[in-house]
Amino acid sequence: MKGKAIVITSGKGGVGKTTTTANLGTALAMLDKKVCLIDADIGLRNLDVVLGLENRIVYDLIDVVEENCRLEQAMIKDKRNPNLFLLPAAQTRDKDAVSEEQMKSLINELKEKMDYILVDSPAGIEQGFRNAIAGVDLGLIVATPEVSSVRDADRIIGLLEAEGLNDPQLLINRLRRDMVGRGDMMNIDDIVEILAIEILGVIPEDENIVISTNKGEPIVLKDKAYSGKAFNNIAKRLEGQDIPLMTIEKESLFNKVKRIVGLS
């Protein structure tokens, strides 16, 4: 097996990297892919909490690189999906506890066992970010429709290209179609025009995400959630399926009725 390693990054904090990693990972695992999520945010780990796996952590990424345990011992199997694994970050250490070379060899080892390795990058462009992008094949940039987020995304794209990670792909998160409709929020075209990279998906703003994150249950497990569907579509696109972007324009009353009745 030769898996694909993807880093989920943004530069700016709070745009949804961890939520994206958890949901995209779960969605890929639901497509019967073997997925390992790596929390590279050492010292500020969150991915375990979002997945509801915090109380299962015995060993972490630092234990693996310091050879206190074998890789398999530190990989936590998801409680819902046997295809999904989490390699948690250490909470009481800092970003310098691991090096880029160690991350690279770790990811290479995982590539032999997994179809996908998703690395949840910390915010910022310092050592933690450098560790997160070491050894990966693709960069996924998460940006919200805000000027500051897009600016940071642009910076990150430049840094990735400097590291030889060309052609990163874009995920636009927390898009509010009502605000875009009123012209109060940047729309997809505005963002793509600035960043000039391929867009992989758009995730609408959804208050259910807050609920699911707090509960430790990824939103993709909820059939009805709009945002969950968006993540499922992104997973399918990564798998090479041709799925059009979800319409984010306000749907007409007729379509709404059709959707509720279940015709579309």
Partner 1 sequence: METINTKMTAKGVIIDFDWEHNFEAIKNSLKDHFEEAGSFYEGTDLYFKVGTKELELNNFKELFEIAENYLSSETGIYLVGQEDNKERLNSSKESQPKREPIIEEVSFKGDTVLVKGTIRSGQAVEHPHNLVIMGDVNPGAEVKAGGDIIVFGRLMGLVHAGAGGKKDAQVAALRLTPTQIRIANKISRPPEDSNDQIFSPEKAFIKEERIIVEEIDF
Contacting positions for partner 1 (CB under 8 A): 43-45, 54-58, 79, 91-92
Evaluate whether 117 touches 5 at the Cβ level (below 8 Å).
Answer: yes
Toward partner 1, which CB reaches closer, 56 or 104? Answer: 56
User: Which pairing describes strands 84-87 and 76-77: parallel, antiparallel, or unpaired?
Assistant: antiparallel
Toward partner 1, which CB reaches closer, 67 or 249? Answer: 67
Tell whether the torsion through CA atoms of 24, 72, 113 and 33 is positive or negative. negative
Spell out a b/e string for 93-110, using b for 16 or more CB atoms within 10 Å of the CB, else e.
bebebbeeebbeebbeeb
CA angle 234, 89, 33 (to 5 degrees): 35
Q: Which residue has the tokens 């430049």?
A: 158
Q: In angstroms, what is the minimal distance from the CB of 86 to partner 1?
A: 15
Q: In angstroms, what is the minimal distance from the CB of 69 to partner 1?
A: 13
Toward partner 1, which CB reaches closer, 45 or 111? Answer: 45
Evaluate whether 35 touches 118 at the Cβ level (below 8 Å).
Answer: yes
Toward partner 1, which CB reaches closer, 56 or 236? Answer: 56
Toward partner 1, which CB reaches closer, 39 or 115? Answer: 39
Evaluate whether 81 touches 52 at the Cβ level (below 8 Å).
Answer: no
Q: In angstroms, what is the minimal distance from the CB of 91 to partner 1?
A: 5
Q: In angstroms, what is the minimal distance from the CB of 102 to partner 1?
A: 17
Q: In angstroms, what is the minimal distance from the CB of 79 to partner 1?
A: 8
